């Protein structure tokens, strides 16, 4: 069986159409697979980033609590030191008042009058 020119060109056209259609179908399917994989990867990355964000927030919250506890302990120590120093200053004031009275008494004995 021999084919004439129009039949050969028809077969060439059909073959080209089938090849282009197959390539289009394969490209479309490949594009869908790539989109699905990228979408899955995007969801996985969002989940991982969300988990990491939660861990970092928890660590920062723990560090904040620890630092606040330390600052509160330091504040308590400073307040205790302030109270102790105020008590000592008040004791020194009492001693200075007593010393002032004694010096005034001595001055009155030595010079006969209050020097003030």
> What was the pLDDT predicted at 109?
86
Q: What pLDDT score was predicted for residue 113?
A: 65
Q: What is the predicted pLDDT for the residue at 110?
A: 85
C-alpha dihedral over 47, 48, 50, 55, to 10 degrees?
140
Residue 2 confidence (pLDDT): 85
**Dihedral, CA of residue 53, residue 54, residue 57 and residue 63, to nearest 10:** -120
pTM, entire model: 0.48
- Is residue 115 within 8 A of residue 103, CB to CB? The reply is no
Q: What is the pLDDT of residue 114?
A: 56
Q: Determine the Cα–Cα distance for residues 114 and 10; give it in Å rounded to an integer.
A: 139
Residues whose CB falls within 8 Å of the CB of residue 115, separated by 6 or more in sequence, listed in order: 104, 107
Per-residue pLDDT of the chain (116 residues; tens, 9 = 90+): 788 999 999 999 999 999 999 999 999 999 999 999 999 999 999 999 999 999 999 999 999 999 999 999 999 999 999 999 999 999 999 999 999 999 988 888 888 765 55
């Amino acid at each position: 069986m021999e084919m004439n020119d129009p039949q050969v060109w028809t077969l060439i056209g059909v073959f080209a159409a089938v090849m282009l259609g197959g390539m289009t179908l394969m490209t479309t399917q490949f594009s869908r697979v790539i989109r699905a994989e990228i979408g899955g990867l995007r969801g996985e990355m969002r989940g991982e980033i969300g988990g990491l964000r939660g861990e970092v927030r928890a660590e920062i919250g723990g560090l904040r609590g620890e630092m606040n506890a330390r600052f509160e302990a330091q504040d308590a120590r400073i307040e205790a030191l302030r109270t102790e120093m105020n008590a000592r200053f008040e004791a020194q004031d009492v001693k200075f008042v007593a010393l002032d009275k004694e010096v005034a008494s001595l001055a009155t004995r030595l010079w006969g009058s209050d020097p003030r």
